[in-house]
Amino acid sequence: MTVNQIDVGTADRILDAAEALAQTRGFNGFSYAHIAEQLGITKASLHYHFASKGQLGEALITRYAERFAGALENIDEVEEDARDKLAAYAALYSGVLDDGRMCLCGMLAAEYETLPKPMANAIVGFFDANHAWLTQVLAQGRADGTLEFHGDPGEGAQVVLGGLEGALLVARPYGDPARFHTAARRLLAAFARAT
């Protein structure tokens, strides 16, 4: 039924709402009541799909990390030049800010100490995956001469990852996406070969 429309299912709609709330208000900043109101169902129904808030949080990170990994694969397919790959990577961050959101795992990293262990581990896994991808891009770019920078590519990856997460973090209270864009552009320019 509803042929021209994807039936996303209630679980996905719950995840969508929870994701938006977690990215704007933090994991400790929203409740089942917020989600229930947005979806027009009761809190009790939410527990049928996600027994506890911790399990909902785990599902949130898993789905986010998978989607992100898919986006990185896509960049590898579409972009050739390492500079373009980095720009596309930064555009992923820019996209979340357009909705007034923080990166999900950046937000959860702040709340790290209050989260259940499975969530905490998943967050580190997300950062590891990003770091590995960035390290490989930086190494490739230096090898083929499109990038130019000193030191270990792994350390450079830390600078890029932290720099973009931090640029999001600081830009959001200003309500000004341009603040992120300028910082991101300057940050990546430090790795690009002078033309």
Partner DNA sequence: GTCTATAGGCAGATAGAC
Partner DNA sequence: GTCTATCTGCCTATAGAC
**Contacts with DNA, residue ranges (CB under 7 A):** 10, 30-34, 40-45, 47-49, 51-54
Q: Does 25 bind its own copies (CB under 8 A)?
A: yes
Tell me the CB-side half-sphere exposure of residue 63, using CA atoms within 13 A: 14
Residues 101-130 that bind its own copies (CB under 8 A): 102, 106-107, 109-114, 120, 123-124, 127
- Given CA atoms 11, 16, 17, 23 in this order, what sign does their dihedral have? positive
- How near is the Cβ of 59 to its own copies at its closest, in Å? 19
3 state SS for 81-119 = CHHHHHHHHHHHHHHHHHCCCCCHHHHHHHCHHHCCHHH
- How near is the Cβ of 46 to its own copies at its closest, in Å? 20
The Cα–Cα gap between 189 and 87 comes to 10
Binding marks (x or -) toward its own copies, 169..188, rule CB under 8 A? xxxxxx----x--xx--xx-
Closer residue to its own copies in complex, CB, 48/174: 174
- Closest Cα to residue 133, out of 74, 56, 47, 192? 74
Closer residue to its own copies in complex, CB, 80/176: 176
Interface region with its own copies, contact rule CB under 8 A, candidates 26-34, 35-43, 60-68, 75-83: 26-34
Task: Please tell me the chain's helix, strand, coil percentages from 3-state DSSP, rounded to the nearest 5.
Answer: 75, 0, 20
- Closest Cα to residue 110, out of 20, 23, 19? 23
Closer residue to its own copies in complex, CB, 26/45: 26
The Cα–Cα gap between 82 and 101 comes to 27
Closer residue to DNA in complex, CB, 46/164: 46
Binding residues (CB under 8 A) for its own copies: these are 24-26, 28-29, 100, 102, 106-107, 109-114, 120, 123-124, 127, 149-151, 155-156, 158-159, 161-174, 179, 182-183, 186-187, 189-190
